[in-house]
Amino acid sequence: MKLSKGRIVFCAVLSAFVTAVLVPPLLRVVSAPVLRAAIVPGLWAALFFASAMVIRIPGVSRILYKSRMMRRLQWNRKLRPYRKESRKLKKAAGSSYCPCCRMYIQNFSGFPYPEYPERYNPARYQNTDTQVICPVCGSMPRHRILVTWMQEHLAEIRHVRVLHFAQEHALRMWMDLHRISYQTADLYADADLKLDLEDTGLPAGSVPMIICNHVLEHVSDYKKALRELSRILAPEGRIIISFPVDPALDMGVLEDPSAVTAEERMQKFGQNDHLRIFGSRAKALLEEHGFLAEEIDGSRMRPEIKPVVGPADYDSNVLYILRKP
């Protein structure tokens, strides 16, 4: 807190000093009284916010981060150190590509599930792909598949506002860099809207596009969540949804009310906070809930994005696009 206050004072004094230097020459060229009156406060405020962003004052940075333009600048600054290496790797044979951060990289890294034996059931992760996480932006295969699809539909997505449940860093970055208008929603984590997926309180038919990745396995009543998604979806809208799917399970979804402890849920569903796992008939299950369901098939994507949904063995390589009939 002390450090933050010190930075604020530093920015305020620095801005005042630079304003004092710049104002006399500006006053000589500006004659309109309104503009002359605005020069000092306007210049000081602009310099204060610019310097606050550069030296990263937490509170001020948060205000600035609400602006899409500032977010784009920040992402670009984070990506800058990787660009040279990416250009080199673009020409190299066998390099991988992340469409979320648009970087060529040597390899994606493995998912560190063995480091969390209390969270992940090792039996479900034995054949996990070793190329999972982007070392630049942290994207996972599901994000790279989704972004590849969104890139193909960019013209239409630019005209709608996306509601993004359980925000994901790589997707936010891609949407900011592509000037997509979106709002994040979460019940527990920091987000634009605090929403319960089972009862959002949003007007019926009001949301034209929803992204809901790996949330349905966590909510207490997935049927209620699907009903709510259907209710808030605009008539021509779309939901892009994914969840863990075990292709070996010949059913829509497996639930077990007797699995109540974290350990039991981890054994049964693969992860200690999953309340269910979906099966090979997940698409039919979504259709039973009144949606038209299409698949975004990762296997049709370019191989260098390593489109295996993962990280668990049981994840199938598909995301779903839902519409109303």
Given the rule CB under 5 A, which residues bind Zn ion? 98, 100-101, 134, 136-137, 139
Helix (H, G, I), strand (E, B) or coil at 324: coil
Q: Which one, 119 or 302, has the nearer CB to Zn ion? A: 302
CB of 255 vs Zn ion, minimal distance in Å: 34
CB of 99 vs Zn ion, minimal distance in Å: 8
Q: Which one, 145 or 216, has the nearer CB to Zn ion? A: 145
CB of 101 vs Zn ion, minimal distance in Å: 3
Query: DSSP class of residue 128?
Result: -
Query: What is the C-alpha to C-alpha distance for residues 239 and 146, in angstroms, rounded to an integer?
Result: 12
Cβ–Cβ < 8 Å for 12, 51: no
Cβ–Cβ < 8 Å for 113, 128: yes
Q: Which one, 98 or 277, has the nearer CB to Zn ion? A: 98
The secondary element (H helix, E strand) that includes residue 16 is helix 2-29
CB of 134 vs Zn ion, minimal distance in Å: 3
CB of 62 vs Zn ion, minimal distance in Å: 24
Cβ–Cβ < 8 Å for 195, 186: yes
Q: Which one, 133 or 225, has the nearer CB to Zn ion? A: 133
In sequence order, what E strands does 140-231 have? 161-165, 181-186, 193-194, 207-213
**Residue tagged 């059913």 (tokens):** 251
Instruction: Give the β-pairing of 318-323 and 161-165.
Output: unpaired
CB of 319 vs Zn ion, minimal distance in Å: 17
- Residue 235, preceding peptide bond in cis (omega within 30° of 0): no
In sequence order, what E strands does the chain have? 96-98, 103-105, 161-165, 181-186, 193-194, 207-213, 233-242, 253-255, 276-278, 292-297, 318-323
Distances (CA, A) of 212 to 132, 216, 236, 307: 20, 8, 17, 18
Q: Which one, 86 or 200, has the nearer CB to Zn ion? A: 86
Q: Which one, 103 or 225, has the nearer CB to Zn ion? A: 103
Cβ–Cβ < 8 Å for 227, 180: no
CB of 227 vs Zn ion, minimal distance in Å: 35
Single-letter residue type at 75: W
Q: Which one, 109 or 272, has the nearer CB to Zn ion? A: 109
Q: Which one, 85 or 313, has the nearer CB to Zn ion? A: 85
Query: What is the C-alpha to C-alpha distance for residues 90 and 103, in angstroms, rounded to an integer?
Result: 8
CB of 139 vs Zn ion, minimal distance in Å: 5
